[in-house]
Structure 1
Amino acid sequence: MTSLPETAPTKPAGMPPAPSAAAPDAAPASECAPVPTSEDLLALAYRSHEVITEHQHAGGAYPASPTFSAYRGYAWLRDGSFTAEGISRWGDVDSADRYHDWVSRVLGARREQVDGLVADAARGVEVPLDRMLPTRFTFDGLDGSDPWWDFQTDGYGTWLWSLVAHAQRHGGDLTRWLPGIEVAVDFLAAFWDLACYDWWEEHVEHRHVSTLGAVAGGLRDIAESGVLDAERADRARAASQGAATLALNQGVVDGHLVKWLGTAAVDGSLPSCIVPFRLAEPGGELATGTLSRVAADLDVDGGVHRFRADVFYGGGQWLLLSALLGWNLAVAGDRDGALRHLHWIAAHATATGEMPEQVPDHLLHPDTRAEWIERWGEVAAPLLWSHGMYLILADELGFLEGRSL
């Protein structure tokens, strides 16, 4: 999802410290809500599955948000692939299969386009960004009709990781999705090292560590799966190793991963480089240092900001990032820390159990929030990615085992 339309307010040049007080009009829900019971948490997991599958398109796509003006009618590979992981963990194999079928069809239909891109790059032709594969698609697999910041490679790596994880969990045959897999691998192998937009559709001039982590992890997992021919598997491994080496050599400062190469700042997406993408091994010094720095800079009361210069809707706390950090804490053995994030997310679901994209409890730049509401309306709710990440964290903590209610 984006945070910078063409008429967006200008971002601060510096990286101001995160405020410790809530915006004047916000009463942090986590300070008021009772601690949810196990039954409450499981009921919200049921509701998350319901919201996701209710809005899944007949063709298999997971809409980013069915109601939000800027997201309605589009599916992102990044959002959808994390959502599919949550659905796969829930055990809804059919829904996850249909999502992966959709991605494979959409990418497989672009075989000729990718062949042309790769051939031009091999001849030394500089390929303009508007010829690259997009980061979002309409439900019928077409490019969007409105201008967007589309060149983002992380979604392709994320899909490969999500697909392999789903197939391994449920005994799926990866050859079912081979047309899309081969297109994704060829595209990433040719263009992984280019600067591109980040998770938030910003800063196309930089190489982002979270992007490199997703590319490295997805290509490694698909290369190890055995579904690729030998030559393509070798190219996938080489690109995976190249992305990982670049990120680890130039994307580490003071013992932690950074937002992009050449900065010391962090981003709420960085925990993905540990779990699930394994750029840094869980429990290792780099992983521990990264999680500690992200928590210190971006976690307030269990809710996680994207980055400290964020002005999108005032720079609120994102439910999906709280789940991502909690997921990492759970894998690292910090169950209490992970539960803190699960409880925070549950406290910020709406009365009908829908999860928004972000909440305004502790806005980083509250003076910019009204401009976004005027431009695009209220914050996206439901955001299917938020629901998918809740399912992942709830499963990691054991709340989906032998479920009842």
Structure 2
Amino acid sequence: MDLYDRSIELIKRSQAANGSFPASPAFSTYQYCWLRDGTFTAYALDVAGEHKAAALYYRWVHRAILRHLHKFDTLLEKKRRGEQLTPELFWHCRYTIDGAEGTEPWGNFQLDGYGTYLWGVAEHAKRSRAAIMTAQDATDSEANGAVCAGGIEAFLTELRPSLEVTVRYLLEFWREPNFDCWEEGGDRIHPSSLAAVYGGLQEMADLLPDLRIRPVCAEIRAFVERCGVANGRFIKSVEHPTVDANLLWLVAPFAMFAPDDVRMVRTVEAIEAELCTGGVHRYPDDQFYGGGAWPLLTAWLGWYYLEVGDRQRAQELLAWVEAQADLQGHLPEQVPERLLYPEAQQQWVKRWGEPACPLLWSHAMYIVLVQKMEEGRRR
């Protein structure tokens, strides 16, 4: 069994019966389902043709959001009264496998996962429809996990309550400083997070036409252009002009900007110059486990290069990711070599143990890059 098949098998084996995914089945701190990690994992299943498993995950998110719906009502009331909106009032970025909030201290106010959820549902619907169109007959359609066209519409109708309230939540609070996808910088606004919000909202504009989505998307994009650019490229956070590999989100998958936008080209040049040592690191000052290279970000950079037609560079990055798998075919969260801050590694090992392995998000992005390369060959 090759790494691609092992990755699909690992993700499906790790999925709980209710649809949720632990971020890492073997790392105690990650026994939660993050909307961000989980949605990209479900997206990987969709690109691999495993639509039923992906749908099960989205139904789990739907139930989790409705379970905590009261928090949105409380936020709206406090905002109406002009009261301070403290981070604990907002929806959490992660839930226990059964959909409950965690109780330990965490940077829970993160908007990117909710935008990613909206985007992921839309991608699931598109890819399920495409599977139906290419299926030879009903038996083939059932085999690859697709449902009939009416089933997809019923699925979207089923999820509509959580989709609508998530859109309203993001429209209301996208301007609020919140933690980024690395669960840091809670007092800042991050272009990568705004890209996720933008991408998710854009996908909902036709489904929910009464919510004035497109003008807000234009406002979000204009904000990033105005406040998220310095020295001719995009920046990690507003007023923090360093580079971060999560800025790849502005192109893939959230399409806030074109891959050949000169600001994006310069951003990728900075990622290559400052963050790429074979694999891709998160950002220059990263001290988490010493600041190793992340397979998932390396796959993401490969995805970007496919968007600009550089298959050779994408293949090089894919080969690096594959080389990081252990003998069990597991990909880690990060690789402890060429660390940016080697002196910081052991404090994290003492705190949490060795870096998470396997990380489902790493396997997901590997699947995505493999499939994107295959889709490019077919075009």
Question: What's the TM-score, normalizing by structure 1?
Answer: 0.85
1:273-322 superposed Cα distances (whole Å, 9 cap, x missing partner): 11111121122222212212112111112x00011111111100001100
CA distance in 1, matches of 2:273, 2:18: 42
The answer as to 2:237 corresponding to 1:265 is no
The answer as to 2:355 corresponding to 1:379 is yes
1:34-88 superposed Cα distances (whole Å, 9 cap, x missing partner): xxxxxx8xx211111011010001110111011112112x000111111111110
CA distance in 2, matches of 1:141, 1:314: 32
Q: 2:110 — aligned with what? A: 152
Q: 2:144 — aligned with what? A: none
Q: 1:237 — aligned with what? A: 214
- 2:207 is aligned, of 204, 211, 227, to 227
CA distance in 1, matches of 2:77, 2:263: 38
The answer as to 2:175 corresponding to 1:196 is no
Q: 1:123 — aligned with what? A: 81
Q: 1:10 — aligned with what? A: none
Q: Which runs of 5+ in 2 are unaligned?
A: 130-151
CA distance in 2, matches of 1:122, 1:248: 29
Describe the SS at the equivalent of 2:82: coil
Residue 89 of structure 1, CA deviation: 0.2
**Matched residue type, 1:379:** P
Contact kept, 8 Å, 1:257 with 1:270, in 2: the verdict is yes
**Matched residue type, 1:78:** R
Q: Which runs of 5+ in 1 are unaligned?
A: 1-39
Q: How many residues align?
A: 354
CA distance in 2, matches of 1:176, 1:335: 40
User: 1:264/1:345 Cα in 2 relative to 1: closer, same or farther (>3 Å)?
Assistant: same
The answer as to 2:11 corresponding to 1:52 is yes
CA RMSD of aligned residues (A): 1.6
Q: Point out 4+ residue stretches in structure 1 off by more than 6 angstroms.
A: 399-402
1:188-222 superposed Cα distances (whole Å, 9 cap, x missing partner): 11111000111111111111110111111111111
CA distance in 1, matches of 2:217, 2:99: 27
**Matched residue type, 2:335:** V
Question: What's the TM-score, normalizing by structure 2?
Answer: 0.90
- 1:211 is aligned, of 193, 197, 213, to 193
The answer as to 2:209 corresponding to 1:250 is no
CA distance in 2, matches of 1:179, 1:345: 39
CA distance in 1, matches of 2:357, 2:375: 24
Q: 2:157 — aligned with what? A: 175
Contact kept, 8 Å, 1:188 with 1:239, in 2: the verdict is no
| Larger fraction in helix | 2
- 1:307 is aligned, of 283, 298, 303, to 283
1:142-177 superposed Cα distances (whole Å, 9 cap, x missing partner): 110211110000110111111111111112332231
Q: In the TM superposition, what are the counterparts of 1:3-402 in structure 2 within 5 Å?
A: 43-72=2-31, 74-171=32-129, 172-173=152-153, 174-223=156-205, 226-228=206-208, 230-232=209-211, 234=212, 236-301=213-278, 303-398=279-374
> Among the aligned pairs, what percent are the same residue?
39
CA distance in 2, matches of 1:401, 1:63: 33
CA distance in 2, matches of 1:324, 1:335: 13
